[in-house]
Structures are given as C-alpha cells and as structure tokens.
C-alpha cells in the first residue's frame, strides 16, 4: 500500500465511476485513468423525496498496484470512494492559458455501504481455528457462529440506491491489458 504525500492537497470523493478504467502508456510507466462523478443528494421537504443537486466530475489517475486493481475491479456506474491528491496543470491553448485538474489516486475502493448485499466474494477464505477473531468462535468452516447481521439500519434519511450492480469481472479479460499497454 502506498503512503500519501503530506505536502499535497488531499481530497476524498464519494461518487460513481463515470467511465470504465482505461490503460495508457506514459514516460513514467503504465497508468490507469477513469472519471469519478459525485452528485449532491438532498432531501426536499416540500416534495418529501430525495433530489439531485450539483454534480462534480474529475479524472482520476492511478499507478502501479492500484492501477492494476482498479482496472480489474471498477466499472462505470460502480459506487466508489477515491482518496488522492489534487493535481492542476496549466498549458497554453489558442494564445490563452488553460488549466487541467485531476486527482492522483492513492486509494480507490468500492463503496460497500451503497452496494449492500449485492456484493459478495466468489470464494470463502477460511481462517485457522486458533486465529483470534472478533465475535464468537468459528465453526469448522471458519465462519463465526454468531455472524454480524446482514441488514444494518442506516441513517433515517439515507438516499435510495437503485443502480444495477456491475462489479462481476472476468479477470482473464482485464489483467493482460495492463501489461500489454506498453
């Protein structure tokens, strides 16, 4: 896991992947880029319903191990959390100065609070019976005898989440793309 630099403006964005991740080659090595979109949601008392507010979108650039993981995990529309450093570059265009802002990703993850029970691992990793765990002792398969309930109550006015899941990934299709981009 990489350590974040402390001399840069750090931002946390909670939103959705606006594009599928893509691989591109650069002088510093392969990178993966995608766009994250965050839409303000607020409860409208007059309508008694959740409404969309302002929308913010920014490109995210990932490198090394994070790039590989993002490429095989994140899909357009997935609820995600991005933590990274704001990067602004300026360039000249048509005689004027233009600015381009993106986020250099340090951490990217699926927002399991919004995925709910629609996300699960394809295999169950068992634990050693002697490994310390929180909660009750595990059974023979390594599953705690008193698991955490799957339904947890949220905040009283949590906005609804009704998008279709898109996180099932064919690893064989995605992993070679990162190595072949160079």
CATH number for the domain spanning 76: value is: 2.40.50.140
Tens digit of pLDDT at every position of the chain (182 positions): 455 556 678 999 999 999 999 998 877 778 999 999 999 988 999 999 999 999 999 999 999 899 999 998 999 999 999 999 999 989 899 999 999 899 999 999 999 888 776 666 666 555 565 555 545 554 555 444 444 444 333 444 444 444 444 444 444 444 444 444 44
pTM score above 0.75: no
Instruction: Output phi, psi for 179, to 5 deg.
Output: -80, -25
Q: How far apart are the first and last CA of the chain?
A: 23
Alpha carbons 148 and 120: distance in angstroms, whole number:
15
Q: What is the pLDDT of residue 159?
A: 45
Q: What is the pLDDT of residue 37?
A: 96
- 139: domain range? 10-174
In a domain, 56, yes or no: yes
Alpha carbons 75 and 90: distance in angstroms, whole number:
29
In a domain, 120, yes or no: yes
Alpha carbons 180 and 161: distance in angstroms, whole number:
36
Q: What is the pLDDT of residue 147?
A: 44
Q: What is the pLDDT of residue 3?
A: 57
In a domain, 3, yes or no: no
In a domain, 73, yes or no: yes
In this structure, the strands spanning 49-63 and 96-110 are parallel
Q: What is the pLDDT of residue 4?
A: 53
In a domain, 33, yes or no: yes
In a domain, 148, yes or no: yes
Alpha carbons 85 and 94: distance in angstroms, whole number:
29
The count of domains in the chain is: 1
Alpha carbons 104 and 65: distance in angstroms, whole number:
14
Q: What is the pLDDT of residue 22?
A: 95
């Amino acid at each position: 896991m990489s350590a974040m630099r402390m001399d840069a403006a750090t931002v946390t964005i909670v939103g959705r992947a606006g594009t599928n991740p893509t691989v591109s080659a650069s002088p510093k090595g392969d990178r993966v880029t995608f766009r994250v979109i965050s839409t303000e949601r607020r409860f409208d008392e007059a309508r008694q319903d959740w409404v969309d507010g302002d929308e913010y979108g920014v490109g995210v650039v990932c490198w090394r191990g994070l790039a590989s993981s993002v490429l095989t995990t994140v899909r357009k529309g997935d609820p995600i959390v991005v933590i990274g450093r704001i990067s602004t570059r300026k360039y000249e265009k048509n005689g004027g100065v233009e600015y381009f802002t993106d986020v250099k990703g340090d951490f990217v993850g699926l927002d399991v609070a919004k995925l709910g029970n629609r996300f699960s691992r394809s295999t169950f990793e068992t634990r050693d019976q002697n490994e310390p765990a929180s909660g009750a002792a595990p059974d023979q398969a390594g599953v705690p005898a008193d698991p955490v309930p799957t339904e947890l109550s949220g905040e009283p006015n949590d906005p609804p989440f009704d998008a279709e899941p898109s996180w099932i990934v064919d690893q064989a299709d995605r992993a070679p793309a990162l190595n072949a981009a160079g």
